[in-house]
Amino acid sequence: MTPETLSATHARAFAGQGRGWSAAEFAALLDSPHTFVVGDARAFALGRAIADEAELLTLATDPGQRRAGLGRACLAGFEAEAKARGAVRGFLEVAADNAAARALYAAARWRECARRAGYYPRAGGIAVDALILEKHLG
């Protein structure tokens, strides 16, 4: 997938939740040999694996494609690719108010290990905690 395709899907997936990532930002991330993407224009997971740890940078599903198992498939694809690259632990970050994403990660057995208070800005000057989740991949 091109950085432009990733950016367009990301913008649709995160509309109303802050700004989507630009094509230039995706291009810069994809320039690293440690970064990988799984999925397609309907849904994708972008991650990176370094040494024995992996980080899910973002998971995006086009709103018109939700509730079809694509997010779950991309998450599984991220885990498989991270493991193939030698990662034994995975990490991700999710907004505390993102119930759908939290349910997806809980179903895949990701567990909270830390929290960043007031990390994600919301309308009206409110900020929401970022939950740091981890999973043993090995």
Determine the distance from the C-alpha atom of residue 70 to the mean position of all C-alpha atoms in its chain, rounded to a whole number: 13
Q: In the structure encoding, which two tokens stand for residue 114, read together?
A: 């830390």
SS3 (DSSP) at 104? helix
120 included as an active-site residue: no
Mean pLDDT of 74-94: 98
User: Among the options 93, 112, 119, 134, which is catalytic?
Assistant: 93
Catalytic residue among 55, 79, 105, 120: 105
Q: What is the pLDDT of residues 89-130, one digit of tens each?
A: 999 999 999 999 999 999 999 999 999 999 988 888 889 999
53-61 vs 89-95, strand pairing mode: parallel
Give the pLDDT score at 122: 85
Is 105 assigned a catalytic role? yes
